Amino acid sequence: MITFYVLNLDPMVAEIGQTACAYFHNRVIAPDQQPKLKVDFGLVNDPTELDPSIRLNLPNADALSAVKSTSLFKKGVPQPRQDFRLILSRRTKLENTIESLADIWIHIASLSTGRLMLTQEPKSKAPIIAWWLGKKLAPIDDIPMAERPWEKDKAELSPQLADEFISRFMKDQT
């Protein structure tokens, strides 16, 4: 389920943002996973109007996977994340806003399927550990942005997804 919120947006931008989120949800989340996924998504015009405690985009701490213990003696196994709360600040150009929405949905798809998982020991100041395709990689801050496999995925897939949406739904808008 997607709950879409807007703050001080032009109604046309709000409608396009909501339509894009629904479209991306249907394109990158498998039909059997869609009912399990809960996304509270905010699109705002000016993030300075928000309470400072509200984070923008998809920070690491808000993307952590739960760790399920398999037995008393084994370390826990990360589980795909199924709920997300995020806010995106609208970009100057509508096309850039759509591209940013596509970026986020690619990450949501990676996190909700377990392709990407981020873990941290509960109540610990230990670094956040990145997992990719079930393999423990390293602390996320030790992996250069250009070498992160999920960022490579996003760089490849997000422009295609955004272009697809724009060509299907916005021929008359651009």
Which regions of the chain does DSSP assign to beta strands (E)? 2-7, 38-44, 67-68, 77-78, 83-89, 116-119, 129-132, 135-139
User: Nearest CA to 153 among 116, 114, 112?
Assistant: 116
**In this predicted model, which residue has the larger pLDDT, 87 or 55?**
87
Give 105-133 pLDDT, tens digit per residue: 999 999 999 999 988 866 667 788 899 99
The predicted pLDDT at position 88 comes to: 84
Reduce the DSSP state of residue 100 to 3 states and report it.
helix
Residue for token pair 């032009």: 10
In the chain, where the domains are located: 2-169
Q: Considering the chain, what is the average pLDDT of its residues?
A: 83
